[in-house]
Amino acid sequence: TLQKWVNREISNFDYLIQLNTMAGRTYNDLAQYPVFPWILRDYTSEELDLNNPAVFRDLSKPIGVVNEKNAKAVKEKYNFEDPLGIIDKFHYGTHYSNAAGVMHYLIRVEPFTTLHIQLQSGRFDCADRQFHSIPATWQALMDNPNDVKELIPEFFYFPEFLENQNGFNLGQLQISKELVNDVVLPKWAHSPEDFICKHRKALESEYVSAHLHEWIDLIFGYKQRGPAAVEALNVFY
């Protein structure tokens, strides 16, 4: 598989799916759901220019420190000593992939809607915590070193999860009073289908093809644990 990918006989998408499968990740287990990277950082421009390296996320860094400002807080957390010596050191107290995160992204489609409601003791979580906007989700990641969710494969092929086709009442945002309905898209996307198409193009772009191995090292490779993980600010609780 690796050789095929290097020779560009299979797409970046296919390679990531196969890596996830080999790592034991599966659509059948929300706690081990396939994980895909955030690949863009431009969610505000009118047009998305895939020839401009500046529109892409730095794939060599864990999502928690893509914003350089967060690195200090992350290092401090790691250097905090557990007085009882029970807890191993870590940079992040949450994980880049977990069941609640999968339900968060897929709340508008069953069976994830029902699973989310069960998780929240029989109702939807409050509107301000819902997945309601792609640009806002990215901004929250940049502002908060404790939010380290990567993406799920659906962001590259499944426009329906961005639409509230079932008309669920997901509540309204506290400050703007805006109703949470379809997911708010980046300005450069004119519909859910357009978002998926451009996002998939971005995944297969020259820039991502040249840098994807850096992210793979963090999630599936030698930077998962040990000294390389510490150096990369990539140690999870």
Which residues are registered as beta bridge partners of 133?
184
pTM, two decimal places:
0.94
pLDDT at 201: 98
pLDDT at 78: 86
pLDDT at 99: 94
- Residues of the chain short of pLDDT 50, as ranges, are none
Where does residue 72 rank: exposed (0-12), middle (13-18), buried (19+ CB within 10 A)?
exposed
What's the CATH superfamily of 1-232? Answer: BEACH domain (1.10.1540.10)
Q: Where are the domains of the chain?
A: 1-232
pLDDT at 83: 75
pLDDT digits (tens, 9 = 90+) for 94-133: 899 999 999 999 999 999 999 999 989 999 989 999 999 9
Q: In the 8-state DSSP scheme, what is residue 127?
A: G
DSSP 172-215: B-TTT--B--SPBPPTT-SSHHHHHHHHHHHHTSHHHHHHHHHH
